[in-house]
Amino acid sequence: MFHLELGKYRNIVLSIALFIFFDLAVLVLNFVISSQISNDALMINLAGRQRMLSQRITKTALQVEYRIRDGKPFGNELTEFKKASTVFDQTLTAFSQGGRTTSGTGDEVNLAAIEDPTAQGILREARDIWTPLITAAKSLTDNADIMQASQLARLMEAANLQLLKLMNDLTTRVEQIASDKATMLRTVQVTGITLATINFIIILFHFIGHLRRSDRELEHAHKETADILRTTQEGLFLLDPELKIGSQHSTALNSILGVATLAGADFIDILRARVDQKTLKTAREYLDLLLKHDVKEKLVTSVNPLNRVEMLLDQGPGKPETRFLQFAFNRVKEKGKITHLLVTVSDITRRVLLEQELKATEDRARGQLGMLMEIIQIDPFALHQFLRAAADGLQNINGLLRDQSEPVTGRSGLLRDQSEPVTGRSSLVNALFRQAHRIKGDAAALGMSSLADAFHQLEDLLSELREQPSLSGEDFLPVTVQVKGLFEQIETIENAVIRISQVRGVATVEAPRPQHDPNTAKLPFVQRWRDFANQIATRHGNTVEISYKGIDVATLPEGLSSAVNTIINQFIRNAIVHGIESSDARKALGKPEAGRLSIYISQNDDGSVELSFRDDGRGISVQRIRDTAIAKGRLTAEEATAWDNRRIVGLIFEPGISSHAAVDADAGRGAGLDAVAELVVRFGGNVRIGTTPNEYCHFRVHLAPRAIVEGPAAT
Amino acid sequence: MKKLLIVDDSNIIRSKIARCLGKYGLEIAGMASNGQEALAQFKATRCDLVTMDLTMPHMDGIECIRALREIDAHVRILVVSALADKATAILALKEGAQGFLCKPFTESDLTEAIGELISDDDND
């Protein structure tokens, strides 16, 4: 475990341990060798004393001999002889075997036996010489005769120089041993210190290098972190449990929050100035939940009240701006304990606005589709009337709003601040309400529910204003905005009506196809149409074929069958004269030589009749009709330019307008289709035209049952 | 088989949860339309799991969670509520609910949420 905990410091600890080991080894060796040298100093001293004692023993032995020979009493010669002999013997024994002896100062000292073989050799030699001497010396007493004394003196004289030499050798040898040890001590000290120094240098270089590497890595990491924090588009920071912002945060955070100094700032204080009280309270609860409660991260994320928060931010002096921010919180844990929250802040204003715009577009599209469905159900004339009335009504409302505002500001008086007495403005509100209510009623009656709803909202706004005790111009702002929206809605409907009309104008609108019955093609009225068509075609140098499917026209009420017959005859004439090309021209266009006239007639359950007439000729020339209308004075050049194609085509039903240049028996006088129009008007029906240049012209006529009951006369 | 108590003031929601979690293999031990009923049924049945609406008459979900936890600290509670009010949701989690499911939810949302609740319980 200790090994693991050393971690990156393992090497330095081992190196220091080695350093200490070297130092301790040197210290121990130093102590041991110093102790030995100290012992050796004693030995040198005692060895030197042995030299001196060998001389003293000889000298005192001679003095004892003289005293006895001269018959003089002993002084202290004999005592001194004995003492010197004893000390010499003790010391010699202590040198060779170890043991106690007396030091120069008279103290008892303990000597270890000399281990050196050379010194032991000297000691053995000395012992050999000394043993007979000490034996003789011990026998010398106060009553010794001259013989004994002389014998001892001779022995001493004989051994004196040898003993002196041996003790001198011993001293030299002991000095040599001490000197060797001193040398060894120096060697140990130098080696130890050298090793320790080398170790120290290694440590120094190793760790300087390591420190440099660490510094570089640290600097690199620091730079990377700084780069990330500087370049990230999001706000990044740490929150401590006290909800204080950490010292390191991304640069973007300042601009996102609009705060210059954030390190150490209180996060709640920052929120307090930028969100409403409810959000602030919820945010506090949420942070508390994150920090102090063991709730799963995924779960806690789902209730983040700052996931999308609208904030009023200071984007410069005096420039508060509403932004949408997203705060994401992640717990930072250490050993299972939450130490911080990592907070990521993103400015999602653009995304939110796009989402809002998309939603508004979707709502609008949904509303427009609904509106479109409503429009196509409404009688075109009634719709037209309503749209005009609604536009006029809105103009009135706008006028009222403008009138009440102008005297104050001359421009947008709705923004004026001072309140006016309720009476003036309340009557205005009532007037506005009446207008709105009327249009709403009309819209509802026509089944235009989405438009009725929009006017209802305007009513709601006005109702709120009615409830207010006093009104300022600013209170009318929402009304103005709503009115503007209604104008746009009316305009949208008008545009839609035009688009629908255009679609109706160009699309082939087939009548409900009756069951094919080959017998109907042989009916007498069909045959009459064929004869009629062939006559006209012959006069105009082309050929036609008529195909018919549908009911037996003869079975219709008389007035209606007559009207149908007249209309078909007019269409046949019109098609052959204006539509069907010459045989050559048709061949050149890749069409069958004979022009085809297709007629379908069906009757609905309510008794109304659907009539479809289609030729595959050149279609209607809008430009020719336009030119004719100008030439006949029906339209001015400006009107002719302003009118759309559909409206121009409609002119063919007016008397005096024809797309055919020449006047002949069949066409060109501008009469014919106007008769069709007259019949349709009488029957309260309608006509739709579809045409494509060089391909076809298609009339679809609806004759309504109301007129059938009335039974108007056919032309 | 784990026992479930369904607490919601909407009959439709109760039925939906019961149908879905019955199929999931839980024993529907009780259904309550407010907090007081929930407490009474919980005392009688000692369920392992509770789905809890927050906005209810008589005793709201938060109070009920608190009371249930006092009776049985180990009961697993899944709050099933509209997330319009995040403050209430936070409060519910603080009071000891272990899961949160936002209305409206699909059957798979519900089984996933209850599955997590049960697996957390098994891991504890």
> What are the residue ranges spanned by the domains of chain B?
3-123
Beta-sheet pairing, B99-102 with B27-32:
unpaired
Give the side-chain half-sphere CA count within 13 A for A487: 12
pLDDT at A401 over 70: yes
Q: What pLDDT is stored for residue A663 in this prediction?
A: 40
A-chain CB neighbours of B86 within 8 Å are 282, 286, 303-305
pLDDT at A511 over 50: no
| Minimal C-alpha gap between B38 and chain A (Å) | 24
Question: What is the pLDDT, as a whole number, of residue A324?
Answer: 92
CB of A289 less than 8 A from some CB of B? yes
Q: Provide the token pair at A62.
A: 């001679």
Cβ contact A163:A129 at 8 Å: yes
Whether the CB of A303 is below 8 Å from some CB of chain B: the reply is yes
What is the pLDDT, as a whole number, of residue A5? 62
Q: What is the pLDDT of residue A299?
A: 82
- The pLDDT-based confidence of B83 (bands split at 50, 70, 90) is low
* Segments of chain A assigned to CATH 3.30.450.20: 235-347
Least confident among A102-106, A185-189, A442-446 = A442-446
pLDDT digits (tens, 9 = 90+) for A535-567: 888 888 888 999 888 888 888 887 888 888 889
* Structure confidence at residue A516 as a pLDDT band (50, 70, 90): low
**pLDDT at position A419:** 38
CATH 1.20.120.160 boundaries in chain A: 360-506
The CA distance from B99 to the nearest CA of chain A, in Å, is 7
pLDDT score, position A216: 92
Share of chain A above pLDDT 90, in %: 15
Distance of alpha carbon A431 from alpha carbon A457, whole angstroms: 16
Q: Find chain B residues with C-beta within 8 A of A299's C-beta.
A: 93, 98-100
Bridge partners for A329 per DSSP: A343
Whether CATH 1.20.120 fits A2-206: yes
B82 Cβ under 8 Å from any chain A Cβ: no
Residue A449 and residue A443: Cα distance in Å, rounded? 7
**Which residues are bridge partners to A668 per DSSP?**
none
φ, ψ of residue A559 to 5 degrees: the values are -60, -40
- Does the distance separating the beta carbons of A303 and B89 come in below 8 Å? yes
3-state secondary structure of B22: helix
Comparing A23-27, A298-302, A424-428, A535-539, the range with the smallest average pLDDT is A424-428
Is A345:A257 a contact under the CB 8 Å cutoff? yes
Q: Which residues of chain A make contact with B101, given a CB cutoff of 8 A?
A: none
| Alpha-helix runs per DSSP H in A273-379 | 277-292, 297-302, 349-375
Q: What are phi and psi of A552, to 5 degrees?
A: -80, 110
Smallest CA–CA distance, residue B70 to chain A, in Å, is 17
Cα A280 to Cα A585: distance, rounded to the nearest angstrom: 83
Q: A597 forms bridges with which residues in the sheet?
A: A546, A615
Q: Is B35 on the interface with A (CB under 8 A)?
A: no
A520-710 maps to CATH 3.30.565.10:
yes
Q: Tens of pLDDT along A42-77?
A: 888 898 999 899 898 989 889 888 888 888 887 788
pLDDT given for residue B121 in this prediction: 60
- Tell me what the pLDDT averaged over chain A comes to: 81
Q: What is the pLDDT of residue A639?
A: 85
Asked whether A601 and A514 are in contact (CB, 8 A), the reply is yes
What length does chain B have? 124
The per-residue pLDDT for A409 is 35
Q: How far apart are CA A149 and CA A140, in angstroms?
A: 7
Question: Pick from B98, B100, B120: which is nearest to A303 by CB?
Answer: B100
Cβ distance of B83 and A305 shorter than 8 Å:
no
pLDDT number for residue A242: 92
CB contact under 8 A, A305 and B86: yes
Per CATH, the number for B3-123 is 3.40.50.2300
Q: Please name which of A653, A691, A646, A687 lies closest in space to residue A670, comparing C-alpha atoms.
A: A653
Lowest mean pLDDT among A369-378, A482-491, A682-691, B94-103: A369-378
Residue of A278, A286, A296 with shortest CB distance to B90: A286
Model confidence at A121, pLDDT cuts 50, 70, 90, reads very high
Show residues of chain A in contact with B100, CB under 8 Å: 299, 302-303
| CB atoms A282 and B83 under 8 Å | no
Residue A354 has pLDDT above 60, yes or no: yes
Q: Give contacts of B93 with chain A, Cβ < 8 Å.
A: 289, 293, 295, 299-300, 303
Cβ–Cβ gap A286/B100 under 8 Å: no
Q: What percent of chain B has pLDDT over 70?
A: 93
More confidently predicted of A104 and A510: A104
Residue A341 reports pLDDT greater than 90: yes
**Alpha-carbon radius of gyration of chain A:** 67
For residues A459 and A466, give the distance between their C-alpha atoms in angstroms, rounded to a whole number: 10
Tell me whether residues A304 and B86 touch, CB distance under 8 A: yes
CATH number of A235-347: 3.30.450.20
Lowest mean pLDDT among A148-157, A379-388, B23-32: A379-388
pLDDT over 90 (residue A585): no
Q: Does A277 touch chain B (CB under 8 A)?
A: no
Per CATH, domain A360-506 is 1.20.1050.10:
no
- Interface with chain B: mutation pick from A280, A285, A291, A327, highest number of B CBs within 10 Å: A285
The pLDDT, as a whole number, for residue A317 is: 64
The verdict on a CB contact (< 8 Å) between A295 and B93 is yes
Of residues A181 and A517, more confidently modeled: A181
Query: Do the Cβ atoms of B93 and A300 come within 8 Å?
Result: yes
Q: Does the interface ipTM go beyond 0.95?
A: no
Q: Where are the alpha helices (DSSP H) in A651-713?
A: 673-682, 705-710
- Residue A374's nearest CA partner among A476, A480, A497 is A497
pLDDT digits (tens, 9 = 90+) for A84-93: 888 999 999 9
Q: How many CB atoms lie within 10 A of CB B53?
A: 26
Instruction: Evaluate if residue B12 carries a pLDDT over 50.
Output: yes
Question: Taking the alpha carbons of A276, A282, A287, A290 in that order, is the dihedral positive or negative?
Answer: negative
Where are the domain boundaries for CATH 3.30.565.10 in chain A?
A: 520-710
Is the minimum CB–CB distance between A12 and chain B shorter than 8 Å?
Answer: no
User: Strand pairing partners for A703?
Assistant: A609
Q: Which of B87, B91, B93 sits opposite A299 (nearest CB)?
A: B93
A59 closest CA partner among A166, A152, A171: A152
Give A258→chain B minimum CA distance, Å: 26
Stretch A240-248: mean pLDDT, rounded? 92
- What integer is the mean pLDDT of A92-120? 89
**Closest residue of chain A to B79, computed from CA coordinates:** A299
Mean pLDDT of A242-257: 90
Predicted confidence at residue B66, as pLDDT, reads 92
Q: Which of B88, B19, B12 is nearest to B4 (CA)?
A: B19
Q: What is the pLDDT of residues A422-462, one digit of tens each?
A: 346 777 888 888 888 878 877 877 778 778 888 888 888 88
- For residue A35, pLDDT beyond 90: no
pLDDT at A408: 39
Q: How confident is the model at residue B37 (pLDDT cuts 50, 70, 90)?
A: very high
- Comparing A389 with A6, the larger pLDDT belongs to A389
**Distance set, CA B117 to CA A699, B21, B98 (Å):** 70, 13, 7
Helix A524-540 with A558-574: angle, nearest 10 deg: 20
